Amino acid sequence: MKLVTCHTPRGPRAAALLENGAVDLNRADPDVPACIKQLLAAGPEMIRRAAGAAARAAPSPRESMTLLPPIPSPEKIICVGLNYADHAREGGFEPPPEPVIFSKLPSAVLADGHPIVLPPISQEVDYEAELVAVIGRGGRNIPRSDALEHVAAYCCGNDVSARDWQLGKPGGQWLLGKTFDTFAPFGPYLVTADEVPNPHALGIRCRLNGQTMQDSNTSELIFPVDELIAYVSAVCTLAPGDLLYTGTPPGVGFAREPAVFLQPGDVVEVEIDGLGVLSNPVA
């Protein structure tokens, strides 16, 4: 099932995207939570129930729905740096022996189709195509063997990065360089985990104005999703709806000769096999 969150007069509500429209899941079946975090937390049985309700309902035209980011207010956005060996080397780093973890603030989320806004205080804003895992059931100290059962869905993400902040400021402002408003696009929808049999065998691409800039496969991840969840949850409790950006393959703009940075009018697309295309203009 493809899941989104719609803006409605009654607040944000979870919906299923179908071929011919979208279905407000709680209206289709009152037992299905209207809040997408609660829906993801409820587990695979509730996801199956929601999918059944969506299949029986009369969908509304997709154009009649205003889509928010699929998780409008995640509690946490956890990101992994240098998780593809070739990308680490193109930036002048050796592949790390343990995951390199940083975060974005929830205020950075952005829905598909909405503009990445270039801040006037950065001249070096870059793209990073990434697989995003969305936490369903939360937890602390999650063993690696159980970790994928805590993932409710997957989607495309763009870890938009102001390189002059991330790398150029004293000490390296990884948090600030990665968390300007609009720097966490994800979507265009969530694909529930039952439809992603192997998250570590997916082609992943980034196109800038139609030109392919990144083209790899999630099989190249140094630290796979289950290991990342075990690693991070040893430190903090993961919550339903938390986003895990798993790192980007080679081809980012700052490592190119000459360097490529986002300009107003650009369009950035992140495409992952089976997860659709996340497209954002740049303003």
Q: What are the phi and psi torsion angles at 2 (to 5°)?
A: -100, 120
**Min separation Cβ 234 and Mn ion, Å:** 21
Query: For Mn ion, which is the closer residue by CB, 57 or 154?
Result: 154
- Give residue 40's region: left, alpha or beta (phi > 0; psi -120 to 50): alpha
Nearer to Mn ion, 42 or 261 (CB): 261
Q: Judged by CB, which is closer to Mn ion: 46, or 77?
A: 77
- 250 Cβ contact partners less than 8 Å away, ≥ 6 residues apart: 84, 86, 87, 90, 214, 216
* Segment interacting with Mn ion (CB under 5 A) among 20-28, 117-125, 127-135, 264-272: 127-135
121, 253 contact by CB (below 8 A): no
CB 80 within 8 A of CB 229: no
Nearer to Mn ion, 192 or 214 (CB): 214
Question: Which residue number is nearest to Mn ion in terms of Cβ?
Answer: 159
Task: Give the single-character DSSP code of 139.
Answer: B
Interface with Mn ion (CB under 5 A), residue total 3
Residues in CB range of 19: below 8 A, 6 or more apart: none
- Cβ of residue 82: shortest distance to Mn ion, in angstroms? 8
Binding mask 48-77 for Mn ion (x = CB under 5 A): ------------------------------
Choose between 36 and 184: whose C-beta lies nearer to Mn ion. Answer: 184
Contacts of 63 (CB under 8 A, 6+ apart): none
Q: Which spans in 214-273 are helix H?
A: 225-233
Q: Identify which range of 38-46, 155-163, 193-201, 228-236 contacts Mn ion by CB under 5 A.
A: 155-163
Options 24, 126, 128, 226; binder of Mn ion; rule CB under 5 A = 128
Q: Is 4 helix (H, G, I), strand (E, B) or coil?
A: strand
Could you say whether residue 159 binds Mn ion (CB under 5 A)?
Answer: yes
Contact by Cβ (8 Å): 225, 151: yes
Please, which residue, 112 or 126, has the CB nearer to Mn ion? 126
Minimum separation from the CB atom of position 227 to Mn ion (A):
17
- Give the x-and-dash track for 232-251 against Mn ion (CB under 5 A): ----------------x---
x/- site string to Mn ion, residues 87 to 126, per CB under 5 A? ----------------------------------------
Residues 71/243, Cβ–Cβ less than 8 Å: yes
Distance from C-alpha of 278 to C-alpha of 185, rounded to nearest angstrom: 8
Q: Which is nearer to Mn ion, 192 or 248 (CB)?
A: 248
Chain residues in the site for Mn ion (CB under 5 A): 128, 159, 248
